[in-house]
Amino acid sequence: MIIVTAMKWAPPFAAGQVRDHRARWILNEVGWPYEVRLVDAPTMKSAEYCGALQPFGQLPVLQEDGRPPVFESGAIVLDVAMRAGRFIGAEGTPERAAALQWVIAGLNSLEPVLFNVAEVEYFMDDEEVKTARRPVVVRQAKERLSMLEHARAGRDWFVGDGFTVADLMLASILKIADRLSLLDELPALAAWHRSILARPAHVRAEEDQKAEIARHTPADMRYSELAQQEGA
């Protein structure tokens, strides 16, 4: 049985975007059954979790009988797709290389730039600092998104003639841009984004994650206990 770790609760702006949805999405696409193990903050930072599953105390982790755990959402997506032989192109083909490059590009060249905007909007309390930083990070994000749309060149898929892990990863990352209204000036990219997220495998992944989060509260994450442990 495959098990995917996920947080019991997340703030409203993150519901549907926490990275375990990527693991759920690819598993849904290939049709592999899985279970979800909900974890709280002390569990993620515990010696057991960090020692055996995720050295940085993050999620998701994919666990499977007879195989070592796999962490990092990008690695999980690629691992599942390659083992299933779907949505990534055959080994040694240009399609495989192109899919890999777009997954890595999304995680390294796109997501951090978008996270800079999210940091300003959701995690900065100093209004003076936010006011000064917001235009800088928004401009950088819009420039990078414009480059992405130019590279897409109006195609339905980023690689080949069908859905691949490239589309999955880029569409997942663009959830941040959509939430922050950064796609408003790129209607074609926004339309492409909506079409990818409409895939049943994604809809199920997002709905399942949101439903689990809705059943819990911040107290279920036991942040106060973690703070006490770290302060001890």
pLDDT, one tens digit per residue, over 22-54 is: 999 999 999 999 999 999 999 999 999 999 999
> Using CA atoms, how far apart are residues 157 and 162, in angstroms rounded to an integer?
6
Helix pair 127-152, 187-197: axis angle to 10 deg: 80
> Using CA atoms, how far apart are residues 127 and 137, in angstroms rounded to an integer?
15
Digit-coded pLDDT (tens) for 143-174: 999 999 999 999 999 999 999 999 999 999 99
Q: Does pTM top 0.85 for this prediction?
A: yes
Answer whether CATH 1.20.1050.10 is correct for domain 94-199. yes
Mean pLDDT, rounded, of the chain: 96
Digit-coded pLDDT (tens) for 55-105: 999 999 999 999 999 999 999 999 999 999 999 999 999 999 999 999 999
> Using CA atoms, how far apart are residues 49 and 136, in angstroms rounded to an integer?
38
CB 38 within 8 A of CB 20: no
> Using CA atoms, how far apart are residues 225 and 221, in angstroms rounded to an integer?
9
Q: What does the domain layout of the chain look like in residue ranges? A: 2-86+202-231, 94-199
> Using CA atoms, how far apart are residues 40 and 59, in angstroms rounded to an integer?
11
Q: Which pLDDT score is estimated for 227? A: 81
Q: How far is CA 185 from CA 12, 133, 164, in A?
A: 25, 21, 26
Amino acid sitting at position 9: W
- pLDDT surpasses 70 at 232: no
Digit-coded pLDDT (tens) for 56-67: 999 999 999 999
Q: Which pLDDT score is estimated for 228? A: 80
> Of 54, 71, 59, which is closest to residue 19 (Cα–Cα)?
59
Question: If DSSP codes are grouped into helix, strand and coil, which group holds residue 61?
Answer: strand
> Of 27, 126, 117, which is closest to residue 80 (Cα–Cα)?
27
- Please report, to the nearest 10 degrees, the dihedral formed by the alpha carbons of residues 83, 100, 107, 206 taken in order: -40
Helices (DSSP H) in 106-222: which residue ranges?
A: 111-123, 127-152, 165-179, 187-197, 200-214
**Domain covering 2-86+202-231 in this structure, CATH number:** 3.40.30.10
